[in-house]
Amino acid sequence: MMLTCRKDSGITSPADFKGKTLGVWFFGNEYPFLSWMSKLGIKTDGSADGVKVLKQGFNVDPILQKQADCVSTMTYNEYWQIIDAGLSADDLITFKYEDEGVATLEDGIYVLEDKLSDAAFQDKMVRFVRASMKGWKYAEANLDEAAEIVFENDASGAQTEKHQKRMMGEIAKLTAGSNGALDEGDYKRTVSTLLSAGPDPVITKEPQGAWTSMITDKAL
């Protein structure tokens, strides 16, 4: 996840955010952003000394229509929608949440703790994780085929083969070198980010027993 900004807005670094309008996804995606702004000492109340937060839909229209100076994007998807809409990479500057130290874990597998004491459930999860990662590693090695499978199964008719192939290439950069197991350092950074996500943080104390490698140790 990253913030993608127009260079013609005058933004060259986070220090230039003050007084700007930034598009932010909500539904949980706002927390790394709020933590980042807190870390920078920038208010999000729209004041002259702070930034105006535009509640962004899951598209990039605000930056194309100059309603926002920056918008939320993913490296593999929305960033390229901006490029396809006519702006070039030279017109843009990006700030990755990973680089800013406020990235949070996203898609994971969540289970109720008491289910893990059931051997049959454990076995099912082990097989699921093992098969999933086998699939991801195959996709990494066979980018075009993986993209074509997704494209062929797109019931909406909204996707293009070019976009799917480009997304798969970018996703492969994220899965490369990982077997899918949770990285404890990423978990700790997520906790730190959520503890400091603005004046009303999503969590107020460090969770205990929130994750386990029990399944991935057996599966991978």
Give per-residue pLDDT as tens, 19-61: 999 999 999 899 999 999 999 999 999 998 999 999 999 899 9
Residue 108 lies in a domain: no
CA angle 174, 11, 102 (to 5 degrees): 40
Residue 195 lies in a domain: no
Q: Is there a single domain that holds both residue 149 and residue 80?
A: no
Q: Which segments in the chain show pLDDT lower than 70?
A: none
Instruction: Report residue 25: phi and psi, to 5°.
Output: -75, 140
Q: pTM surpassing 0.95?
A: no
Smallest CA-to-CA distance from 64 within 45, 86, 32, 94 is with: 86
DSSP 160: -
Structural domains of the chain, count: 2
Q: Is there a single domain that holds both residue 58 and residue 23?
A: yes
Of 35, 67, 100, the position where a domain reaches its end is 100
Please tell me the predicted confidence (pLDDT) of residue 73: 98
Of 49, 68, 100, the position where a domain reaches its end is 100
Give whole-number Cα distances, 208 to 53, 128, 191, 212, 216, in Å.
33, 26, 11, 11, 19
Expressed in angstroms, the distance from the first to the final Cα of the chain is: 27
Separation between Cα atoms, residue 86 and residue 142, nearest integer Å: 29
